[in-house]
Structure 1
Amino acid sequence: MPSETNPEKPVALRSDNPHEENGLFEHSSNSSFNEKRRVSELESIHSKIAEPGQGEKGNILSQYSEKQVMQMGRNYALKYDLDPDLFARAAALARTPDDFNAMPFITEEEKQALHKEHTKKWHIPSKLIQVIALGSMAAAVQGMDESVINGALLFYPNYMGVGKGEYNRFGYDTDMIEGLINGAPYLCASCIACWMSDLWNRHLGRKWTIFWTCLISALTCFWQGFTNTWYHLFIARFMLGFGIGIKSATVPAYAAECTPKQIRGALVMLWQFFTAVGIMFGYVACLAFYHVGDHGIGGGLNWRLMLGSACIPAIIVLFQIPFVPESPRWLMGKDRHKDSYDSLCQLRLDKIAAARDTFYQYVLLQEEASYQGIPTWKRLVEMFTIRRNRNGALGAWIVMFMQQFCGINAIVYYNSTIFIQGGFTEVDALTASWGFGMVNFLFAIPTFYTIDTFGRRNLLLFTFPLMALFLIWTGLGFVAEDGTKTQTGIVASGVYIFSAIYSAGEGPVPFTYSAEAFPLYIRDIGMGFATATCWFFNFILALTWPKLVSSFGRTGAFMWYAAWNIAGFFMVLWFLPETKGLTLEELDEVFSVSTRKHAIYQTKSILNSFQRVVLRRHIDPLPPLYEHQKRLAVTNPDWNNKTETAHIE
């Protein structure tokens, strides 16, 4: 239980600098931690606060009286040259955000804005709409980069002498060369680019990182259209990976940091939704340029236009960047508190809401303030040595790995080839590919509702078995006689239904989940790790699919990925906690439960449900695994001599 505090005397937030007075509260000590104590204490605290108990989920400011909290807000405003009266009222609002109607110091105009925020969550400011548009178009860049190679595959391999199922004069397997070219961007993204995202974000900020990565994407797409050899095309596509890798680590984090928690999941999900839109338009470009003649250009003009067309959405993003605000969390991390508040004023309906979120964000981030300035390599180590971080990394790894090994991108990159092998003509195959992209896009729409209603984990548990089933269905279609309507019908229906199920689960969840899984001080590195995982296994899939088909056969290749979907179901069941409905910082408690405890609990839960639902036995359900216990999270361990357990209830 926490020790008693003087109700009239404010207590101490953790200082941004242990040797500098915070200005909000009185300090009784200015000593700093040594690194070993800092790491061990953080892991210990995270472990203890996550133990299941009977406490209810609580706002950490509820540990203080309203008078204390208003003084905290007033002092914060004075320290950072903000409006003291506004922040005093906003601090009280942050303490009990649902009780605004009972607060006499909140004006009627402010109450109307807060009521609208609660009851009409999609009534959002124009600047937040611009942020959504930016993130959406950046995702479309990603989608087109991925899908235009599908149409080009019908032409460039013959011109460059790859993908013929034989060895060239240098002894290289041409199937592997084809896979290497297709997977080149993801090799670069996973091995180099994603690990640069932290450096770029720290120095450039979120939105300007997006600007430069889209510029790289535009230039390299243009470059691909001028290549004449397979190794020249490989180099151009490898350089494209710098745009893909860093951007994919940045955009979801930017969206998560700009949006209120009520719609955070849906807006972060826009990344995958508009990636699906980009994939669809990539197929449209392939169809549009299919009949373009050579016009005297060696190797043909059509596939060059297909690859180059992906630069169009990237150029649109370049013109959007100057008109959107920077991430308020990034600005606060740079100690630019007034700029952070100004940014939130553009992203919230009223100044009182912006001040509330600014202050509460600051209070929550004090836990992490002592970790600012930690070298990158130490933060990378702490991502795996501190349980809370390690569990977040494991969850992000699972969803990113399974996004690739569910088999979706084998279809995205090679579906024209798959459809041709299933009895389609080239034009019909490209049309069927466009249909695949349309299904992928349309069935992502319901997840705007389901991702924050049913949750990330439940969507995955429901969809993995179904994806396995329809991959088996598709694979069995190749057993039918080649070129028959039976074969084309089975293959097309299997691919389309698989795409629809993917779009409802493993499609939108990974980037949303990964953006939530890491605390702020390692979020850039964590997103780099997550996207590196995604792109590395994307590269492995693109590289190995041609060889997998030639070795296992078409049916065996689909069965291989069906088996991985079954494995994915159990990985999610045992090791993936739910993140729905929690603030980014409050997720610390969820990710601090040990994986062993989580796996045992979920196994017992399955057995318990089986007995109650199937065997109809009257047994009590298991107690909840997670309890968001009230805790004094904003205390500085140096301001008095209390033990760690004194801050835990």
Structure 2
Amino acid sequence: MFKGHANHREEAGPGTSAQSSRRESSQLQFPRDDTFENVRLFAQSHGLARHLDSFHKAAVVLQGQTTLDEIPLSTSELKALRDETERKWRQPKMLYFTILVCSVGAIEQGWAQTGMNGANLDFPKAFGVGSNSKHDTLIVGLINSGIYLSTGVLGAWLSDPVNNWLGRRGAVFVGSILCFLANLGSSLSKTWPQLLIFRFILGGGLGINASTVSVYAAECAPTGIRGGLAVSWQMWTAFGIFLGFVANAAVYSYGDDSWRLQLAGPFIPIIPLLLMLYMCPESPAWYLKHGDRYDLAFQSLCRLRNSGLLAAKELYSSHLQRTARLKMMDQEQISFSRKVLDLFSVPRIRRATTASYVVMLSQQLCGINIIAFYSSTIFSDAGFSDFGALVASCVFGFINFLGAFPAIWTMDTLGRRSLLLLTLPPMAVTMLAAGLSFNISADNPVHFGLLATLIYVFCALYSPGMGPVPNIYSAEVFPLSHREIGMSFAVATANFWAAILSLTFPRILTALTSQGAFTLYAGLNIVAVVLVFLFLPETRLKTLDELDDVFSVPTRTFVGYQTTEFLPWFVKRYVMRNKEADLPPLGFDEEYQELEQDEDDQEI
């Protein structure tokens, strides 16, 4: 791996001495060895000859054998290199604008999900399926799960070909147009089959966007803050959920047709998304994957990084890593069916698929989407008035949004895996307590307050952990060659299980009552803890290319280490308070062991 520049920062002296050193170094000539001849050939073959000086400097920095003061860097270049780790959040406006545009897409995603939450109170009566019969509960469950079924079966899998043809921005544009038409069509439906069809179309658009936006953000973000920026998807999805709840309450008094306005509302954020999308640069990684367009990738990186030198360093490092991998891989064009097969047959990709499947499944097992979809129904069954249930759901959405903010900083400090293991156990406890709260009579005001409080605490625990991690994790773990299809599989997994849970929840609620349903999901949270502990490697502070090392560890080796080494050490260290307890290294890959156990930040 190429991690050179981090070794130099401490050696760059301050003040006049450093400035004098840079003036002297500016007269140095680059040595004419094989490294710089390779840089020259790279630049000339990819239309980057006029940026050769920047790539020469980048190569020296990546080698890590020379102090920064010995490289002919301008003051702005030196500052940019130092800011890369010392001031990680000082980034170009265009990077934050790109993340903002991705966030608008997330708002539409969240709002589209919660529009049905409020509509559930009225549309069944409008279409004559409002009874508790098996037929009517099945129809209501099918309409609610329609977007999930469509996303898992159609939308997510359309993402790969649409991305190949149109790029990341083009895929988001197509998905957004489908969502725009489906939201308006849903509001104009005259029968429940028409509504179901438009919900399926909506799921197709949401699937393309969900499979693309997180990948787009991850590919545009610098390594050091990739996790923090990628939190924006979940955070603004949560904000969209909140806006959806607010809109549901705002139009509640519009009579029997208020559900039509609730279903139409999510078209609002699509308009600014479509207007701003092509102001953003295309993903640099997409240019590399499709035609090795290093020149266009460099143009995108220059808009997304603080200097041309940082863009050159990142691009040339990626080139070196890709070249090394291609020497060991079949370079022929891979078909769609072959990519799908590779998800389960190629060891490195299969491990990423397993980890992605586990984290997406765990998100559904925790029960958050059931609460998001049916919170108004749950509060109404608990004795709230219809309007009171909508207001209580608004509070739920707002807490979901606010709770995501801590993840911006903890995602790249604590790490993805640690956040899940810290938040899932208390989520199980609060879900169980919420179920037990139904033992209190509905006539007792304590019942309302306790149930709402426990649901809100559950939401606050979900938002910084299980909320943002699945999408961030799945968007980064697959190699570039299989990133779109891997993310498609992840989104399909999440939406398949969301569809199953949404389809069955009305029946579960009828059969087990609210108390039994909450208790069931408390147990499923414990299942999620076990899955995450056994099958989820950490990815924090690794470049997208360096994650090949993380997933070089066989699953059996990783599971064995967690159960026979890490778990006993954890009990001795934190339960029995033995500060001298020793944790043996993983013993397979030194770099991976450092990722798991070294508490200091690793070099990028």
Same fold (TM over 0.5): yes
**Equivalent residue, structure 1, for 2:276:** 320
Cα distance 1:357–1:283, how it changes in 2: closer, same or farther (>3 A)?
same
C-alpha contact (below 8 Å) 1:69/1:95 kept by paired residues: no
Cα distance 1:230–1:586, how it changes in 2: closer, same or farther (>3 A)?
same
**Equivalent residue, structure 2, for 1:260:** 222
C-alpha contact (below 8 Å) 1:372/1:521 kept by paired residues: no
Shift of 1:573: 0.7
Q: Secondary structure at the match of 1:623?
A: coil
- Whichever residue aligns with residue 567 of structure 2, its letter is I
C-alpha contact (below 8 Å) 1:70/1:87 kept by paired residues: no
In the TM superposition, 1:142-541 aligns within 5 A as 142-167=109-134, 173-293=135-255, 300-334=256-290, 335-369=292-326, 370-371=330-331, 373-541=333-501
Cα distance 1:472–1:156, how it changes in 2: closer, same or farther (>3 A)?
same
Q: 1:123 aligns with which of 90, 95, 101?
A: 90
Shift of 1:108: 2.2
**Equivalent residue, structure 2, for 1:609:** 570
Cα distance 1:151–1:114, how it changes in 2: closer, same or farther (>3 A)?
same
Q: Distance in 2 between matches of 1:258 and 1:547?
A: 43
Unaligned runs of 5+ in 1: 1-56, 168-172, 294-299, 631-649
1:628 corresponds to 2:585: no
Q: Secondary structure at the match of 2:244?
A: helix
- Whichever residue aligns with residue 366 of structure 1, its letter is T
Count of aligned residue pairs for this structure pair: 560
**Equivalent residue, structure 1, for 2:503:** 543
Encode CA deviations 1:456-504: one digit per residue, 9 max, x unaligned. Answer: 0001001111111111111112222124212212210111000000002
C-alpha contact (below 8 Å) 1:276/1:441 kept by paired residues: yes
C-alpha contact (below 8 Å) 1:201/1:209 kept by paired residues: yes
Shift of 1:346: 0.5
Q: Distance in 2 between matches of 1:66 and 1:309?
A: 63
Cα distance 1:93–1:412, how it changes in 2: closer, same or farther (>3 A)?
same
Q: Secondary structure at the match of 1:106?
A: coil
Q: Secondary structure at the match of 1:446?
A: helix
Which is further off, 321-330 or 366-375? Answer: 366-375
Q: Secondary structure at the match of 1:478?
A: helix
Shift of 1:60: 9.5
- Whichever residue aligns with residue 399 of structure 2, its letter is V
Q: Distance in 1 between matches of 2:591 and 2:36?
A: 24
- Whichever residue aligns with residue 401 of structure 1, its letter is L
C-alpha contact (below 8 Å) 1:163/1:176 kept by paired residues: no
Encode CA deviations 1:405-443: one digit per residue, 9 max, x unaligned. Answer: 110011001101111111211111111000000110111
Q: 2:61 aligns with which of 78, 81, 93?
A: 93
Encode CA deviations 1:187-231: one digit per residue, 9 max, x unaligned. Answer: 011011111111011111001110111111111101111012111
Q: Distance in 2 between matches of 1:543 and 1:316?
A: 33
1:577 corresponds to 2:577: no
C-alpha contact (below 8 Å) 1:422/1:483 kept by paired residues: no
C-alpha contact (below 8 Å) 2:298/2:315 kept by paired residues: yes
Q: Distance in 2 between matches of 1:487 and 1:383?
A: 48
Two-structure CA RMSD over aligned residues (Å): 2.0
Cα distance 1:188–1:100, how it changes in 2: closer, same or farther (>3 A)?
farther
Cα distance 1:371–1:559, how it changes in 2: closer, same or farther (>3 A)?
farther
**Equivalent residue, structure 2, for 1:71:** 37
Q: Distance in 2 between matches of 1:614 and 1:166?
A: 51
Percent of counterpart pairs with the same letter?
38
C-alpha contact (below 8 Å) 2:5/2:61 kept by paired residues: no
C-alpha contact (below 8 Å) 2:2/2:63 kept by paired residues: no
- Whichever residue aligns with residue 359 of structure 1, its letter is Y
C-alpha contact (below 8 Å) 1:371/1:521 kept by paired residues: no
- Whichever residue aligns with residue 155 of structure 1, its letter is D
Shift of 1:92: 1.8
C-alpha contact (below 8 Å) 1:66/1:95 kept by paired residues: no
C-alpha contact (below 8 Å) 1:74/1:85 kept by paired residues: no
Shift of 1:624: 4.2
Shift of 1:574: 0.9
Encode CA deviations 1:561-593: one digit per residue, 9 max, x unaligned. Answer: 111110111111111100001011111111121
**Equivalent residue, structure 1, for 2:22:** none
Q: Secondary structure at the match of 1:224?
A: helix
- Whichever residue aligns with residue 125 of structure 1, its letter is P
Q: Distance in 2 between matches of 1:541 and 1:92?
A: 54
Cα distance 1:616–1:351, how it changes in 2: closer, same or farther (>3 A)?
closer
Q: Distance in 1 between matches of 2:394 and 2:294?
A: 47
Shift of 1:77: 0.4
Cα distance 1:616–1:461, how it changes in 2: closer, same or farther (>3 A)?
closer
- Whichever residue aligns with residue 105 of structure 2, its letter is A
Q: Distance in 1 between matches of 2:84 and 2:199?
A: 44
C-alpha contact (below 8 Å) 2:144/2:503 kept by paired residues: yes
Cα distance 1:275–1:613, how it changes in 2: closer, same or farther (>3 A)?
closer
Unaligned runs of 5+ in 2: 7-30, 594-604
Shift of 1:100: 6.0
Q: Distance in 1 between matches of 2:246 and 2:504?
A: 26
C-alpha contact (below 8 Å) 1:73/1:90 kept by paired residues: no
Cα distance 1:483–1:176, how it changes in 2: closer, same or farther (>3 A)?
farther
C-alpha contact (below 8 Å) 2:2/2:317 kept by paired residues: no
Shift of 1:627: 2.0
**TM-score scaled by structure 1?**
0.83
C-alpha contact (below 8 Å) 1:70/1:89 kept by paired residues: no
1:553 corresponds to 2:513: yes
Cα distance 1:118–1:68, how it changes in 2: closer, same or farther (>3 A)?
farther
Cα distance 1:532–1:60, how it changes in 2: closer, same or farther (>3 A)?
farther
**Equivalent residue, structure 2, for 1:80:** 46
C-alpha contact (below 8 Å) 2:239/2:397 kept by paired residues: yes
Cα distance 1:76–1:557, how it changes in 2: closer, same or farther (>3 A)?
same
C-alpha contact (below 8 Å) 1:186/1:536 kept by paired residues: yes
C-alpha contact (below 8 Å) 1:249/1:528 kept by paired residues: yes
Shift of 1:276: 0.3
**Equivalent residue, structure 2, for 1:17:** none
Cα distance 1:96–1:554, how it changes in 2: closer, same or farther (>3 A)?
same
Q: 1:596 aligns with which of 552, 556, 559?
A: 556
Cα distance 1:496–1:356, how it changes in 2: closer, same or farther (>3 A)?
same
Q: Distance in 2 between matches of 1:629 and 1:278?
A: 37
